[in-house]
Amino acid sequence: MKGTVYVARGLTSGLYKIGVTGNVFGRMVSLRQHGIGEGVELLAAFEGSYRVEHALHRRFSDLLVGERGREWFRDDGRIASWLSGLPSTVRCAVTFPYLPKSSGQRVRLPTIEDVAAAFAVAA
């Protein structure tokens, strides 16, 4: 599958998720609400495929956090270092906060325009 390889970080756990999707915005919203029970911060997104995703998973395989699935990694500094070496045009910092539905509170989610603007500022 051709799509977008993304790197996100859990706001509570600090764990990194490396995945691929056809819709980064939709995936971030889904992750923070249904996937992990914590907010996430999108850190990078670039054109790629499962092949690229799997290569990154192999690169950081010793950092895998097994109880979180096959795409979540702790960081010993190597992931952050790799991220900082990416072109600024693919790096960003967009937060997707989490609030349990039972809290009754509302939270403003980033819009697609917010995500696009984050990449435009990075460029």
Give the pLDDT of the chain (123 residues) as one tens digit per residue.
Answer: 689 999 999 999 999 999 999 988 888 888 876 667 788 999 999 999 999 999 999 999 999 998 777 889 999 999 999 999 999 889 988 888 876 665 555 555 566 666 666 655 444
From residue 57, give the alpha-carbon distance in Å to each of 5, 54, 72, 115: 12, 5, 9, 25
Strands 91-96 and 2-10: unpaired
Closest CA relative to residue 30, chosen from 92, 122, 109: 109
Count up the domains in the chain and report the number. Answer: 1
Contact 88, 122 (CB under 8 A): yes
Q: Provide the residue range defining the domain that includes 84.
A: 2-122
Is pTM beyond 0.85 here?
A: no
Provide the β-strand partners of residue 47: 4
